[in-house]
Amino acid sequence: MVKQTVVYAICCRKFLFCSSPFLGNSQMPRCSRQGMEENKIGRKKNMRLDKYLKVSRLIKRRTVANEACDAGRVSVNGKVAKASQDVKAGDVIEIGFGTKNVKVEVLAVQDTSKKEEAKELFKYL
């Protein structure tokens, strides 16, 4: 059991505690990556709008995404949105870049993505 705890500590540098059927009512550390796997399996996942714009690489930096939302240039499902609004799969985001408007549909939500995978998070409308 001690070896498993060390692996979790090195793996994530972060502990989440849950009760274990092996230890009865005592607590044991659990790897935080386990929660990410649960989200991939079937739970609906939400993310802040400014973070989604950054992760999907529609806007390069999160602070720029935040400023665009504050200026009222970003709308979700036809309503002007704040940076803190939750975005989920199926939402339609419209962003005003000067004279050009970009309209996309959210296909998936992930905490991080590589440059190649970022294109799969949304679809242009």
User: pLDDT per residue over 20-37, tens digit each?
Assistant: 455 454 444 454 444 444
The answer on 58 and 31 residing in a single domain is no
Confidence grade of residue 44 (pLDDT, cut at 50, 70, 90) = low
The answer on 57 and 105 residing in a single domain is yes
CA-closest candidate to residue 69, choices 83, 79, 54, 52: 83
- Average the pLDDT over 26-52 and give the result: 60
The answer on 51 and 99 residing in a single domain is yes
Residue 16 has pLDDT above 90, yes or no: no
Handedness of CA 92, 65, 49, 37 (dihedral sign): positive
Domain that holds residue 13: 2-41
Confidence grade of residue 45 (pLDDT, cut at 50, 70, 90) = confident
The CA-atom distances, in angstroms, between 64 and each of 14, 27, 41, 96 are 29, 42, 32, 13
The β-bridge partners of 74 are: 95
Tally of domains in the chain: 2
pTM here is 0.65
Token readout for 10 is: 């090195």
Q: How far is CA 120 from the centre of its chain?
A: 14
Q: What percent of the chain has pLDDT over 70?
A: 65
